[in-house]
Chain A
């Protein structure tokens, strides 16, 4: 049985050491997406008490679960930008992170395809930028070379660029692994903790942070990694006044069996607004096409639209002509937190002991490990003492996944625990044992289990397994049927009982 550190998930506040019954932390990180999770894990290597405050029912439920999952190639942005420097640095950290944290990651390479001669000028510019940024192995490709690298490209392609260091990752599995590692090393993670009020305790140099549900903690330093809501959090703490706009990106997801799966991530030539609509071979074997880029009024509008979806397929087909509507399994949308051209990562100039980590759009996921380093140094600069732990464990448990095991390995597991023989999700081959493990790791919503195990993500999209997962959640957590939700909050799945 795998050991878990979920006593560090939503720990009972009354049992924690503190002042006047309120637990004391050195650092509170607000938001548990890629940025927050990386910062938490980095800090977990030091003798500091860290709390991560996540407003949703599970970590990675914001922008970090609905994005392209790309580890970028380091050529899209000029190095004068912080985001470019952190992208390059972050990209290089992924191999080691994968070894330590066992999340799916593959350096499949990135291609930018030019579909006519004019576009080659833009490609050359990107190439030179990549060289300046120090990207290893970046090449400018002729038509012949690029078709050799990516045979699924349209024969209309005239040339392009190839960055072998680019790759693909399962972003939510990345965040889950970071959070598990952080918790294993003593970080406390609070979910359903929506920060509502922050009061400065001046004599004691602390922040008193109150959640919407009444929970309170103290923290000497605060990191605002609240994604789409970083502007609101900044306001609550008396920080800088800025506005985050949401820019929606819609995606199509295609079946594993599609003939249109490229080897590399295929980019078009970028526009001034976005990197364009890509064709992405996901690390799980499916294909993502998208994203679009439209400013959205509401920060909670994750709806997809038929106009955009048609656009996506058309755009994708220009580069990979074999993309077919028949292979579409589902679609989804993510919201980018738009602030300004560059990442806004610096200590607040107007409120004490507060680090802003806002406007983390692309290449946020790629840069996130480097953001962890960078913020750790910023905290040190503003006074946080960092003493390394001698017993910091960078590794997390390697968990077997039934679909990756040989029959003999699976047989051995079933002998120890019959739940390994119960194929709950047969589209993705996810066993009851893996679902129970997800629940024990704190993922008690249908979506949380989906992102952790891939159950409900396959061909039938939960048609056969959902009722079983609901029953397993009830059995393992003791929750009643009315408390089972899709993604927390009011997203109940059952309304009544006969």
Chain B
């Protein structure tokens, strides 16, 4: 078996070739660094991707607390056109491709109530695959 693929670990995108050796091992050529070799093997045997997505935010769907007493805050709240309605998240490690659709469904269903810190774990060790879903933005 001989397969050609493009490495996606970094923006260079080396053209890799993976060959089956007689002893059953996989040989990778064309990589400029060891991460590429590891990627190629994984891509052939167990392809994975880092997943980024968004969760629903808070009860009122926006950065809430409309009963803050600060008058300037009040005026800002009224004009909350820039308030995000979603919290961006990412997986702490790549997710096996065959599970991505299921993971996305769960992430979209998940609601997070502010305040959130960057790095907060939203879903811990999903399906025991050793990956967390973490917030990538702070919102309060």
Contact = CB atoms under 8 A, between A and B. Distances in A.
A–B touch (CB < 8 A): the answer is yes
Interface of A: 418-419, 422, 424, 432, 468, 471-472, 498
10 contacts: A418-B78, A422-B79, A422-B81, A424-B81, A432-B79, A468-B81, A471-B81, A472-B81, A498-B86, A498-B108
Contacts of B54: 498
Contacts of A424: 81
B69 interface: no
Interface centre among A424, A472, A498 (most CB of B within 10 A): A498
A432 B81 contact: yes
A465 to B, nearest CB: 10
Interface of B: 54, 56, 75, 78-79, 81-82, 86, 108
A498 B78 CA distance: 24
B81 A419 contact: no
Nearest to A422: B79
Contacts of B56: 498
Given A419-B79, A498-B56, 5 more contacts: A422-B81, A424-B81, A468-B81, A498-B54, A498-B86
Consensus secondary structure, chain A interface: helix
A1 to B, nearest CB: 15
A472 B81 CA distance: 8
Contacts of B81: 422, 424, 432, 468, 471-472
B108 A418 contact: no
Contacts of A432: 79, 81
B68 to A, nearest CB: 16
A413 to B, nearest CB: 14
A154 B28 CA distance: 67
- Give the top 10 A-B pairs by smallest Cβ distance, nearest first: A468-B81, A418-B75, A422-B79, A471-B81, A498-B108, A419-B79, A432-B79, A418-B79, A498-B54, A498-B86
B82 to A, nearest CB: 8
Nearest to B81: A468
Contacts of B79: 418-419, 422, 432
B80 to A, nearest CB: 9
A127 B104 CA distance: 72
A372 B86 CA distance: 52
A498 B56 CA distance: 8
A468 B79 CA distance: 10
A419 B81 CA distance: 11
A176 to B, nearest CB: 24
Contacts of A468: 81-82
A74 B41 CA distance: 80
Contacts of A418: 75, 78-79
Contacts of B108: 498
Contacts of A498: 54, 56, 86, 108
A498 B82 CA distance: 18
A355 to B, nearest CB: 46
Contacts of B78: 418
A432 B56 CA distance: 26
A447 B54 CA distance: 30
A190 to B, nearest CB: 31
Contacts of A419: 79
Nearest to B55: A498
A11 to B, nearest CB: 29
Nearest to A468: B81
Contacts of B86: 498
A424 B81 CA distance: 9
A418 B76 CA distance: 9
A422 B79 CA distance: 8
Contacts of A472: 81
B62 to A, nearest CB: 10
Contacts of B75: 418
A498 B54 CA distance: 9
A468 B81 CA distance: 6
A87 B53 CA distance: 60
A282 to B, nearest CB: 29
A419 B77 CA distance: 11
B81 to A, nearest CB: 5
Nearest to A471: B81
A468 B54 CA distance: 20
A440 to B, nearest CB: 16
A219 B75 CA distance: 48
Nearest to B53: A498
A472 B79 CA distance: 9
A292 to B, nearest CB: 40
Nearest to B79: A422
Interface centre among B75, B81, B82, B108 (most CB of A within 10 A): B81
A303 to B, nearest CB: 33
Nearest to A465: B81
A178 B133 CA distance: 57
A472 B78 CA distance: 11
Nearest to B86: A498
Nearest to A469: B81
Contacts of A422: 79, 81
Nearest to B75: A418
